[in-house]
Structure 1
Amino acid sequence: MTHDTITLGEVALEVRSKNAGPFWVTMELFMRDEVSYALAADASYVNEEVVAALYGVEAGAVQLFRIPSLNVVKISFPRPISQGSLRDRDMHAGQHHVPLALVRVPAPVA
């Protein structure tokens, strides 16, 4: 039996990342409704280990905040390269959300 999947980006209202100071990145999954929030909040799909693997950071440093009243999952982790340093390729962390948005989850049942 196969299950249809969809990306978090496809099921979310918005997935964004932003600079949270020179040493941290914050990402937010704004989900459309309770059903899509349940997918994003499910620790089987979005957890510290998944984020660590996507962004090359220590799982123990990843902070996850699930906010069901807003249908939002917020994720913060230390920047691998500090903001503005010579090797920093995204000073405002505006593109860090892309790998998270591509995480596959089961398609919601209509």
Structure 2
Amino acid sequence: MPTIREIAPICKSKNAGPFQVTIDVVFKDAAMYRRVRDTGVLCADLFGKLYGVPAEDVLFTAYDAGLAFKATLPRLVPAGDIGDTDVYGSQQHAPVLDVVIPL
């Protein structure tokens, strides 16, 4: 079974303000996007588990027109605060790369 890193050409993260981070997973092929979407693996519950936040705090959307998934979730440490290791939020997508998709 493939991982996100093997099937999605774009998986990135960035700040959505100082208290949230957003993660995008984008596909170039509509058929592959639909196959991934239909598995239901990418969802608020998964992002909550990966990032240690309640699923109800995750805003998760599948954008069919953009062949993309977007998850916005609270940062555990505000951007730039003591203990923050990624002030821009640009490395927060790493846990998603190893998510296995049962295709």
TM-score bracket for the superposition, by shorter chain length? over 0.9
Superposition pairs for residues 31-110 of structure 1, below 5 Å? Answer: 31-42=27-38, 44-107=40-103
Structure of higher CA gyration radius: 1
Letter of the 1:34 partner, please give it: A
- Choose between structure 1 and 2: higher strand proportion: 1
Unaligned 5+ segments in structure 2 are: none
| Pairing 1:7–2:3 present | yes
Moved over 6 A (4+): none
Deviates more, 1:66-75 or 1:37-46: 37-46
Alpha-carbon displacement from aligned partner over 1:62-94 (angstroms, at most 9, x marks no partner): 011111111011110011111111010111111
Alpha-carbon displacement from aligned partner over 1:20-52 (angstroms, at most 9, x marks no partner): 110000010111212221244246311111111
TM-score normalised per structure 2? 0.92
Cα distance in 1, alignment partners of residues 38 and 20 from structure 2: 24
Cα distance in 2, alignment partners of residues 41 and 77 from structure 1: 20
Distance 1:89 1:18, change over 3 A: same
Distance 1:43 1:64, change over 3 A: farther
Distance 1:90 1:39, change over 3 A: farther
Q: How many residues align?
A: 103
